[in-house]
Amino acid sequence: MGMQDGNALAGPLSEVFAVDVTAAQRLCPGCGTDSAVGALHVYRMATAAVARCPVCGEIAFRIARHAGALWLDFGGGGALRIPVG
Amino acid sequence: MAALTPGFRSRRRAPGDRLPPGQFLTEGFPVLSAGPTPAVATDRWRFTLTTETGDQHVWTWPQLTALPQADVTTDLHCVTRWSKFDTRWRGVSLDMLLDGVDTEARYAWVESYGGYTTNMPLADLRNGRAWIAHTYDGRPLPAEHGGPARLLVPHLYLWKSAKWVSGIRLRINDQQGFWESLGYHAYGDPWREQRTWGD
């Protein structure tokens, strides 16, 4: 399967977050690119996926949906900026 | 051939039973990766074996291709449930690369250009079961399938056969690789359906 954009992760992310994270912004610690999560580049393997900066390719986060558990790794992937009231 | 581990004996399979449980046969060769395809020119390609004491054994592309080559026809099994029979590869056996390497390590940590990693017991790279493969179906291995060279360890799920391989670190202790640290199985035997953590 080829690369997709971050909107492909709206489903599994909605199982973790109370807000639509695909609309959040991420400031890439690697190259400074400010992009929406929905614009990240996503690579999948089975029920796992890795989301990367669309410019430099640095990993933003990894997520997997295995039996009975959702695995989420933000590592050093940069803060998500979620607008609040 | 299914691997054996202490205390476990693989189930005997009927001759011709080549499709592991939960798998579907494909004639294609799907492409999966954990990131963009790195461009690795053979003139700067290196393969580095690093022992647990830090000793390094480095091969350039001309050095690798000058070694005795093995022709391998094998079945592939991907954790995404496709299998492909009778794939034809050419490469160098890990037995040859590990010959003369002094190590007490029990585990291998495989590294790739582009940052991918995977792990397995070192024993699974020995005894004619693993190769650094550079030719597929009679042609140079395409970059999308891991060229210029990938690890080929076909008795485990295909995510263990790291594309764009750059080296192997021999380790006393196991360390989880890219997908293994996100819940995929540390060993990945397709005949035992070791897909994810806990299988």
Report domain extents, chain B: 44-192
pLDDT of residue B16: 58
A53: nearest CA partner in chain B: B35
Q: Is the peptide bond before A54 cis (omega within 30 degrees of 0)?
A: no
**Which of A66, A72, A74 would best serve as a mutation to test chain B binding (most B beta carbons within 10 A)?**
A66
Q: What is the ipTM of this complex?
A: 0.87
Contacts across the A-B interface (CB distance below 8 Å)? 47
Ranges in chain A, pLDDT < 50 = none
- What's the rounded Cα separation, in Å, for the pair A46 and A36? 24
Two tokens, residue B61: 């592309």
Token readout for A32 is: 């400074």
Q: Is residue B7 over pLDDT 50?
A: no
DSSP per residue, A39-66: GSEEEEETTEEEEE-TTT--EEEEEEEE
The beta-carbon neighbor of A45 closest among B36, B80, B197 is B80
Interface test with A, best of B24, B26, B33 (most A CBs within 10 A): B33
**What confidence score (pLDDT) does residue B11 get?**
47
Contacts of A28 (CB under 8 A, 6+ apart): A34, A35, A53, A55, A56, A58, A60, A78
CB-based contact (8 Å) between A75 and chain B?
no
Q: Which CATH superfamily is domain B44-192 in?
A: Oxidoreductase, molybdopterin-binding domain (3.90.420.10)
- The DSSP element (H or E) to which B61 belongs, if any, is helix B61-66
In terms of residue numbers, what domain contains A73? 4-81
* Confidence band for B199, pLDDT divided at 50, 70 and 90: confident
pLDDT bin (cut points 50, 70, 90) of residue B14 is: low
* Residues of chain A contacting residue B195, judged by C-beta atoms under 8 Å apart: 46
pLDDT digits (tens, 9 = 90+) for B78-132: 999 999 999 999 999 999 999 999 999 999 999 999 999 999 999 999 999 999 9
- Chain B residues near any Cβ of chain A (below 8 Å): 30-36, 79-81, 159, 179, 181-184, 195-198
Q: For residue B10, what pLDDT band results from cuts at 50, 70 and 90?
A: very low
pLDDT at A78: 79
The pLDDT value given to residue B161? 98
Model pLDDT for residues B29-81, shown as the tens digit of each residue: 999 889 999 999 999 999 999 999 999 999 999 999 999 999 999 999 999 99
Domain count for chain A, please give it: 1
The mean per-residue pLDDT over the stretch B149-174 comes to 98
For B179, the closest of A1, A2, A48 (CB atoms) is A48
pLDDT at B9: 41
Looking at residue B1, its pLDDT comes to 31
| Structure-block tokens of residue B125 | 């790279």
Within 10 A of B117 (CB to CB), how many other CB atoms are there? 18
pLDDT score of B24: 95
